Structure 1
Amino acid sequence: MTLIDLRSDTCSQPTRAMREAMAWADVGDDVYGDDPTVKELETESAALLGKQDAVYMPSGTMTNQVGIRAHTEPGDAVLFDQNAHVYLLEGGAPAAYSGTLPRLLPGIRGIFTAADVAAAVGRPHPFFPSTVPAPVKLLCIENTHNLGGGTVWPLEQLLAATAAGRQLGLNLHLDGARLWHASAATGIDVAEYAAPFDTVSVCFSKALGAPVGSCLAGPAELVARARRFKQQIGGGFRQAGIVAAGALYALRQHRSQLPEVHANAKRFAVTVSQMDGIDLDPAHVETNIVLFRLTRGSSAAFVDQAHRLGLHVLPSGADGIRAVFYLDISADDADRAATVVGKTLAAL
């Protein structure tokens, strides 16, 4: 039986049409700004997000971290949700690359409030020396939220949190690796989600199924600064149009398929939630990520046994499991995956 790989939506494979587009892409040296396909991708991404410019990079980690570096100086503090991808799953890069101090917000499934932002920044008394605490310079928000289970920020709450940050003098960065999913789930345009933010990172190799890359979008002057840090961190491409063509194809052709991805994730979640030994509320499955908890046994033993039976998933803590759906996973695959979950529970 073919292994069903639900470890991540980064496990998708480029389609034949996407490979054709990549094979015949117009290319140049991107370091010199000569690659026409990269420039086309950057221009189209910026327009979709309602920003002046965008810069293409190899990964979402790079666009996030270059974004943070572009907004800050070493010793500045940055506000993150306590379970943010930028904070937990990017190799400690905010500290290693930008030299920033994380200040964590008590989000619930990745979503916090304007009051949380205000409390984290505070208003020091004038008697207290302003040079003592690290200055808070940046607020980062993740939409959809990975470790929250693909949660979508309610627009009203997003606007309230970003307005609070702006009133406190903070710059704003959106980790929108799966922003395409948020838009598909709600019908709200990506530009509307992106509007409050100075910079936005979007990924083409997750939701949209391209093999490589993300864009960082924002004001032209800030994107120009980001290009310097992209080069500094080792992100300079040469004939990058070959991979940018895959991202451009995905951007144009694959966004319309995301509701089907969501439906398959929900289909799987509803079936699994009815199994003895699983704690899962299908109402929490808003997009393509399914998180569930085992009421007995360990996640390590579960993922090992599931893999032996033909399902590849990841542990999420001592008793949690994460399954991520994407373009390559059909409704039949979702049903087969749920069957393996049942067999795994029985075997354990």
Structure 2
Amino acid sequence: MIDLRSDTLTLPTQEMRNVIAHAIVGDDCYGEDGSVIELEEYCKQLFCVEDALFVPTGTMANQLAIKSQVMEGNEVITETNYHINFYESSSIAMLSRAVLHTCRTEDGILRVEHVDELIHSKPRGPFYASPQLVSIENTINYYQGKIFPFKEIKQLYEFTREKNISLHMDGARLFHAHVAMNIPLSDYAKFVDSLSICFAKGLGAPFGSMLMGKKEMISKARIYRKQFGAGFHQIGMYAAAALHALKHHISHLCTDHLLTKKLAMMLSEIEGLSIDPDAVETNMIFFHVNNLHTNSWQFVDRCKKKGVLLFPWLSDTVRIVVSRNVTEKGIYEAANIIEAVCKELTRGVTYVS
């Protein structure tokens, strides 16, 4: 199978498995896991932040950022389709009892004018919810791995400073933006109050994310992490794998981007698919199946029977994600399979579930 469902499906390399096997471990609840300490210190230096906290998932990193910076009943401002609302809204309600205040932007980029409009869209004061956090995403999953413009991040940061509001970046795929734009990771961290990154998306580590920011915020997050059930003991194997990924796997993302662009160009020539290769910025391709008179689940099932796995994003939308486990040969084979499925559909071949 050629697996193009997600970059969370990457597998550890043999080198990473060797690192895991020989990792130093200790009890992280006591602050004694040497590999965790090394990973957190490395991230502090790499991103030039005050403190860092190793957590199981990107979702927990986001939830800890909210819990540590937003009082119960107050607001998190974000874009409707960012991960924090699209997937995590119930978590925010359950864990932080905070309010999500969202808007749908034309191009997926939450700008100062959008935040300002949301702030002034309802009564404010001691008896009402107050906006305490703006959350952005980079790269943006829902918008085909779109890169959040650095200029807009800086403008948002300056605006939130004026309004005494914190700015969080869900940077689960920030490394993709980093290699595509050649902007230092420390520059991204400089213009947000909290930042999450993921080691298991694209980099190929089997586990973990990192939440970074000011010492005061991370100290709160450390307490909440334990309360949320993530009090680690001998977790050094996973921390060592994440550190290995940070040191050795970031540059490979450039290859993922090149293969994604190549695949997009091949798919754009297939009858029935509408894909603009110029709109593909990182490692994702989204396409609609409306013109093929089918739904995404049926389309994905047809592709699976022929040897390629895709992700049914919405009922009419299919997502492709290229990761380090996908070869150039696999890209060509996937394009041929998708073309064959499209030809079957346009010829009216009867679908058997």
One-letter code aligned to 1:122: H
State the Cα deviation string for residues 306-342 of structure 1 (Å, max 9, x = none).
1111111111222111011111111111111111111
Give the CA deviation at 1:347. 2.4
Change (3 A) 1:94 1:314: same
Q: Equivalent residue for 2:79?
A: 81
Unaligned runs of 5+ in 1: none
User: How many angstroms apart in 1 are the aligned matches of 2:71 and 2:88?
Assistant: 19
Give the CA deviation at 1:51. 0.5
State the Cα deviation string for residues 126-151 of structure 1 (Å, max 9, x = none).
xx671343111100010010111111
User: How many angstroms apart in 2 are the aligned matches of 1:284 and 1:94?
Assistant: 32
Assess if the C-alpha contact under 8 Å between 2:124 and 2:130 holds in 1.
Answer: no
User: How many angstroms apart in 2 are the aligned matches of 1:19 and 1:90?
Assistant: 31
Q: Equivalent residue for 2:309?
A: 312
Give the CA deviation at 1:123. 8.0
Counterpart mapping for 1:1-348 below 5 A:
3-90=1-88, 92-122=90-120, 130-294=125-289, 295-296=291-292, 297-348=294-345
Give the CA deviation at 1:91. 6.2
One-letter code aligned to 2:261: K
User: How many angstroms apart in 2 are the aligned matches of 1:31 and 1:323?
Assistant: 39
User: How many angstroms apart in 2 are the aligned matches of 1:122 and 1:67?
Assistant: 24
Assess if the C-alpha contact under 8 Å between 2:78 and 2:110 holds in 1.
Answer: no
State the Cα deviation string for residues 164-220 of structure 1 (Å, max 9, x = none).
222222111110001110000010111111211111000000021100000001111
Identity of aligned residues (%): 36
Give the CA deviation at 1:228. 0.3
One-letter code aligned to 1:136: P
User: How many angstroms apart in 1 are the aligned matches of 2:106 and 2:240?
Assistant: 37
One-letter code aligned to 1:308: K
User: How many angstroms apart in 1 are the aligned matches of 2:162 and 2:71?
Assistant: 20
Change (3 A) 1:44 1:279: same
Assess if the C-alpha contact under 8 Å between 1:54 and 1:215 holds in 2.
Answer: yes
One-letter code aligned to 1:36: G
Say which is worse superposed, 30-39 or 82-91, in terms of deviation.
Answer: 82-91
Say which is worse superposed, 230-239 or 102-111, in terms of deviation.
Answer: 102-111
Assess if the C-alpha contact under 8 Å between 2:40 and 2:52 holds in 1.
Answer: yes
One-letter code aligned to 1:238: H
- Residue 242 of structure 2 aligns to a residue whose secondary structure is helix
Give the CA deviation at 1:267. 0.8
State the Cα deviation string for residues 229-254 of structure 1 (Å, max 9, x = none).
11010111111101111100000000
- Residue 230 of structure 2 aligns to a residue whose secondary structure is coil
User: How many angstroms apart in 2 are the aligned matches of 1:123 and 1:129?
Assistant: 9
TM-score, with normalisation over the residues of structure 1? Answer: 0.96
State the Cα deviation string for residues 48-95 of structure 1 (Å, max 9, x = none).
112111000111111111111111121111011110111112362111
Q: How many residues align?
A: 343
User: How many angstroms apart in 2 are the aligned matches of 1:66 and 1:29?
Assistant: 21
Say which is worse superposed, 13-22 or 189-198, in terms of deviation.
Answer: 189-198
User: How many angstroms apart in 1 are the aligned matches of 2:318 and 2:299?
Assistant: 8
Change (3 A) 1:273 1:240: same
Q: Please report the RMSD computed on the Cα atoms of aligned residues, expressed in angstroms.
A: 1.4
Unaligned runs of 5+ in 2: 346-353
Runs of 4+ in 1 over 6 A off after TM superposition: none
User: How many angstroms apart in 2 are the aligned matches of 1:254 and 1:39?
Assistant: 20
User: How many angstroms apart in 1 are the aligned matches of 2:124 and 2:275?
Assistant: 49
One-letter code aligned to 2:46: L
Say which is worse superposed, 286-295 or 243-252, in terms of deviation.
Answer: 286-295
- Residue 200 of structure 1 aligns to a residue whose secondary structure is strand
User: How many angstroms apart in 2 are the aligned matches of 1:39 and 1:344?
Assistant: 50
One-letter code aligned to 1:5: D
Assess if the C-alpha contact under 8 Å between 2:193 and 2:213 holds in 1.
Answer: yes
